[in-house]
Amino acid sequence: MSHNISELKQQFLEYIEIEKGRSVKTVENYDRYLARFIEHTKIKKAEDITPEMMREYRLWLNRQSVHRRTGPENIKKKTQNYYLIALRAFLKFLAKNNISTLSPENIELAKVGERHLDLISHDELQRLLAAPNGDDLKSLRDKAVLELLFSTGLRVAELASLTRDIDFDAESFPVRGKGEKIRVVFISDEARKAVKRYLAKRTDVDDALFIRVGHAKSSNEDLILNKRSIERIVKDCAIKAGISKKVTPHVIRHCFATDLLSNGADLRSVQMFLGHSNISTTQIYTHVTDRQLHDVYKKFHGKGRK
């Protein structure tokens, strides 16, 4: 195996796509992150990666800025970690192939603040789901979108990729998620009813489950709802429901997870429902069970003391 850094990078990208089953988007991101490291350090061989080089690179990365509408901002710690995770995975690949280089354990991620969930209350959720209340195709579509998001916990991209040949008489159906991984999601009676009413109103023969309404069809791709259009549907329904908070499809996904946990589901099951590859990602929802444990503690602890 060549020790040329550019050739090794290409071999690594092919490895994670073919052997590890990473999505094309993930491979593209890793390519960009590693290319930036190679460009900045001017490195030619894997053996030349040193702790001193990493310290300098991290300092440089921390001082980089991106341009926002409000002006330039430093790259967030979370974004910096994406670069470091890609580099650490690359170093693990080199070590696996017996190429002498910096140990992956030397790559420590930047500390980020505790992640806070964007949630809406139970009452706000019910108002959101009830917002599309007409019998026209658009209202029926929007109702089906909202009910299916809350019923399944799907990511917005997963929802947009659904086709109408799904058996909605069944209690579950498979979905292809991140990394091309297949998982089973379950559909509630409310969501099933909403989707069936929407499909019964459709007169087209397009395969996509969710399509645009009231637009001239210039191409099949233009007809299918994409991530942005689904986000707009959720936003418009939230405004109609009188919710002042920012509501997105991911907020509904959070509501799906916290609803399961608050009603007794275990964290491992919720991980499977959400399609998280690592349970540490699911642990952002433990505040729900923590609050329940606190309530139990207050209710039962120390009652025998006088």
What gap in Å lies between CA 272 and CA 184, rounded to an integer? 9
Question: What distance lies between CA 246 and its chain's CA centroid?
Answer: 17
How does DSSP classify residue 63? T
The runs of H, that is alpha helices, within 97-215 are 122-130, 137-152, 156-160, 189-201
Residues 6+ apart with CB under 8 A from 181: 21, 275, 277
Q: Indicate which residue of 9, 88, 141, 253 is catalytic.
A: 253
Instruction: Give the C-alpha distances (Å, rounded to integers) separating 136 from 132, 142, 202, 209, 276.
Output: 10, 10, 10, 16, 36
Contact of 137 with 198, CB cutoff 8 Å: yes
The amino acid that residue 92 corresponds to is K
Q: Indicate which residue of 22, 143, 254, 276 is catalytic.
A: 276
The full DSSP string for 175-196 is: EE-GGG-EEEEE--HHHHHHHH
Q: Indicate which residue of 155, 192, 198, 254 is catalytic.
A: 155
301 labelled catalytic: no
Cα Rg, the chain, nearest whole Å: 24
178 labelled catalytic: yes
Q: If we measure between CA atoms, which residue out of 152, 141, 144, 212 comes closest to residue 177?
A: 152
Tell me how far apart the 2 most distant CA atoms of the chain are, in Å: 77
Q: If we measure between CA atoms, which residue out of 169, 149, 175, 117 comes closest to residue 237?
A: 149
253 labelled catalytic: yes
Q: Indicate which residue of 45, 164, 178, 193 is catalytic.
A: 178
What gap in Å lies between CA 27 and CA 12, rounded to an integer? 9
285 labelled catalytic: yes
The runs of H, that is alpha helices, within 3-50 are 5-18, 24-41
Q: Indicate which residue of 36, 127, 250, 287 is catalytic.
A: 250
Q: Indicate which residue of 33, 57, 198, 285 is catalytic.
A: 285
Active site residues: 155, 178, 250, 253, 276, 285
